[in-house]
Amino acid sequence: MHLNIKWGKERTTLTLEDPTLPISALKNYISQWSHLPPESIKLIHSGAVLKNDNAPLSSYRFRPNATIQVVGSAETIPVPPQGSAQKSETTIMTQIQEQLTLVRSSLVPSLEKFLQTLPTQSNTTIPFDSTSNPPTSPASIHKEHARLSEMLLQSLLTLDAITVDGEWVQARQERKTAVREVQGYLDQLDAAWNSRVR
């Protein structure tokens, strides 16, 4: 089976011959390819972070030619300091809401504009008049797609990193709803991008 690996603008294809290999083996392959430290690599497939490094690849039921997004940096991921005061459920819910508000205010307007101006198979004629900005170049369209995709993925990772106590039902539901909303934006972007006129 072939897997498509995406890291920023970089792309590679991996052929899986042994589906029983753990996720850590995939991270090691990506580390050799990208030169990122394995501990700084996070893998995302269909909006979900592949968390368990010991789980076999087969447990994720990848479809042929599935795409795995790599998020990582050359710097090791800092561990947040452990404060003595335990966070309350209200504080956690505020964190979740702040992240969602940030996405809605800073990313959603850019996403909507991008979707309106992207020539797709169902939207081949883009309205244009002398007062609007001229259509962007293919290079800038690719750049904006990459930026929006990366920012939405980073937002999903931020929400995923918020620790919710097992007893906090409301906070868990709040995070689940937030993740679903951000994933929805990412799905819209991917669907439009895949149906764009090339």
User: Does 181 lie in the same domain as 93?
Assistant: yes
Q: Is residue 81 part of a domain?
A: no
Segment 109-138 shows an average pLDDT of 63
Q: How does residue 177 score in pLDDT terms, banded at 50, 70 and 90?
A: very high
Q: Which one of 71, 100, 128 terminates a domain? A: 71
Q: Above 80 in pLDDT, residue 49? A: yes
Segment 128-154 shows an average pLDDT of 70
Alpha carbon distance 198, 193 (integer Å): 10
The arrangement of strands across the sheet holding 10-15 comes to 10-15, 2-7, 66-71, 42-45, 48-49
Choose the weakest-confidence range: 21-35, 77-91, 112-126, 141-155.
Answer: 77-91
User: Does 146 lie in the same domain as 49?
Assistant: no
Q: Is residue 84 part of a domain?
A: no
Q: Is residue 135 part of a domain?
A: yes
- Amino acid 134: pLDDT: 37
- Amino acid 136: pLDDT: 60
Number of domains in the chain: 2
Domain containing 62: what range?
2-71
CATH number at 52 reads: 3.10.20.90
Q: Is residue 83 part of a domain?
A: no
Q: Is residue 22 part of a domain?
A: yes
Q: Are residues 146 and 110 in contact, defined by beta-carbon separation less than 8 angstroms?
A: no
User: Does 98 lie in the same domain as 7?
Assistant: no
User: Does 59 lie in the same domain as 33?
Assistant: yes
State the average pLDDT for the chain.
Answer: 78
Q: Is residue 28 part of a domain?
A: yes
Share of the chain above pLDDT 70, in %: 83
Q: How does residue 181 score in pLDDT terms, banded at 50, 70 and 90?
A: very high
- Amino acid 120: pLDDT: 65
Q: Are residues 189 and 148 in contact, defined by beta-carbon separation less than 8 angstroms?
A: yes
| Phi (first) and psi of residue 66, to 5 degrees | -65, 155
User: Does 93 lie in the same domain as 61?
Assistant: no
CATH number at 177 reads: 1.20.58.120
User: What pTM, to 2 d.p., does this model score?
Assistant: 0.54
pLDDT tens, residue by residue, 73-120: 544 444 444 443 346 888 888 888 888 888 888 889 988 988 888 876
